[in-house]
Structure 1
Amino acid sequence: MTLTSQKKSQLIAKAASDKKALDIMIMNMHDLTTTTDYFIVCSATTATQVRAIADNIEDEMTQAGEEFLHKEGYQNAEWILLDFGNCVAHIFTEEARRFYGLESLWGEAPTVEYED
């Protein structure tokens, strides 16, 4: 059974939360891009935690029958991107998140803070 993009975004956010991700935001990209429905953005204090969050998201999505299409940044782990088609997870170190300002870049996206 394939998850809806909204349920998928919630599952990604929960998997991030399970590994103590910080400031988890779900950005609705429906009206802003044709490439994805949601960005899930979060931060971690260390590169090790960034990788742990990415690994947990990947594991939880695989268990749900959802495979990622593309992964970037795992080696450096300042910003890991996991592309699940209609949902894209962005896991940053806190410093990288401030530097790249993804939420500002897509400031017109309706955004909700994930609460476990």
Structure 2
Amino acid sequence: MQEHELLPLVVQAADDKRAEDMIVLDMKGISLISDYFLICHGNSDKQVQAIAREIKERANEKGIQVKRLEGFDEARWVLVDLGNVIAHVFHKDERSYYNLERLWGDAPAVDVQEVLNQ
């Protein structure tokens, strides 16, 4: 699967589980870890887990192996590493504490609606 297909898959999976306040950051040239970060949150432990699970299952359906899945059991901050795209799924109560948007403030934001329409 090409990079331009992976990002919409991840964003759509999160959107289908009602992830809130989705932000996509273009990390190319800023981070060696990944090309894109998806940052979003859920309002409960169950919703955070549902979002992360949906991302993982959609990736697996397309033959993409999740390189790392961390924080799933605690459901406060789940990291789903798909290589070129890393999803950060926060619990609503934790998101502002870590404030990844500010930490990576020099990364340009990608229009989530444009990604969903791809």
The TM-score range, normalised by the shorter chain, is over 0.9
Moved over 3 A (4+): none
CA deviation profile, 1:82-101 (whole Å, cap 9, x unmatched):
11111101000112111100
CA distance in 1: counterparts of 2:72 and 2:19, whole angstroms: 16
Q: Which runs of 5+ in 1 are unaligned?
A: none
Q: Which runs of 5+ in 2 are unaligned?
A: none
CA distance in 1: counterparts of 2:47 and 2:16, whole angstroms: 11
TM-score relative to the length of structure 2: 0.92
**Which residue number corresponds to residue 89 of structure 1?**
87
CA distance in 1: counterparts of 2:32 and 2:53, whole angstroms: 27
Give the length in aligned residue pairs. 114
Secondary structure of the 2:46 match is helix
Q: Which amino acid aligns with 1:114?
A: V
1:4, distance to aligned residue in structure 2 (A): 2.2
**Does the alignment pair 1:19 with 2:17?**
yes
Q: CA contact under 8 A between 1:78 and 1:93: conserved in structure 2?
A: yes
CA distance in 1: counterparts of 2:106 and 2:37, whole angstroms: 13
**Does the alignment pair 1:60 with 2:58?**
yes
Q: Percent identity?
A: 35
Secondary structure of the 1:96 match is helix
- Superposed, 1:1-116 pairs within 5 Å as 3-115=1-113, 116=116
CA distance in 1: counterparts of 2:74 and 2:19, whole angstroms: 18
Change (3 A) 1:17 1:53: same
Q: Which amino acid aligns with 1:32?
A: I
